[in-house]
Amino acid sequence: MAPLVILVLVTLALVGLRAVGVTRVPAWPFAVRCGVAAMFVATGVAHFAGLREELIAMVPPAVPAPGLVITVTGVLELAGAAGVLWRRTAPWAAAGLTAMLVGMFPANVYAARQGISPSFGDALVPRTLMQLVFLAATVSIVAHYARRPREARENVSR
């Protein structure tokens, strides 16, 4: 639940600053990028400290070397967090994080069915809903940047 809270609070705080007239804070895509980055920093760090053993336990038995998987995904989450903050790499990093969220979802299903990780909640429906929010955030970044080049081309041709 903490990753969801981090995503929402950071995003809303930046949107709120912009809404009250702090013009140095860029528009909503920046707020979402910062929320996603903060969330993935928190979850990435958890792969190395705090929840590491719990995360290793979430890896389905069919996946070899669960400790290595958790290390690699932690590094990818931290790299993705950094990537979404830089405008040039944001769409690529967000696409990678989107793919990773989809790829890691079976571990969430496994953990929910096995009752493995109480700190994340054992019910599959809340886990799925959180994943959908995370996916919506990362996909919104990709979509924003996918629209920008087309809009720029249309403005040039007018």
For the chain, first and last CA: distance in Å?
47
Do 35 and 84 touch, CB atoms closer than 8 A?
Answer: no
Higher pLDDT, 9 or 154: 9
What is the arithmetic mean of pLDDT over 31-45? 96
CA dist., res. 149 & res. 113, Å (int)? 43
CA dist., res. 63 & res. 65, Å (int)? 7
What is the arithmetic mean of pLDDT over 5-15? 93
Above 90 in pLDDT, residue 147? no
Query: For all residues of the chain together, what is the average pLDDT?
Result: 88
Above 80 in pLDDT, residue 37? yes
H or E segment at 24? none
Amino acid identity at 86 = W
Q: What is the pTM of this model?
A: 0.86
Higher pLDDT, 14 or 23: 14
Centre a 10 Å sphere on the Cβ of residue 112 and count the other Cβ atoms it contains.
Answer: 20
What is the arithmetic mean of pLDDT over 9-29? 86
3-state secondary structure at position 87: coil
**Closest C-alpha among 39, 129, 33 to residue 77:** 39
Work out the pLDDT band at 158, boundaries 50, 70, 90. very low
Q: SS3 helix, strand, coil % of the chain, rounded to 5? A: 80, 0, 20
Work out the pLDDT band at 5, boundaries 50, 70, 90. very high
Amino acid identity at 138 = T
Q: What percent of the chain has pLDDT over 90?
A: 59
Higher pLDDT, 36 or 87: 36
- Structure-block tokens of residue 116: 């493995």
Centre a 10 Å sphere on the Cβ of residue 41 and count the other Cβ atoms it contains.
Answer: 17
pLDDT digits (tens, 9 = 90+) for 89-126: 999 999 999 999 999 998 888 888 888 765 555 678 88
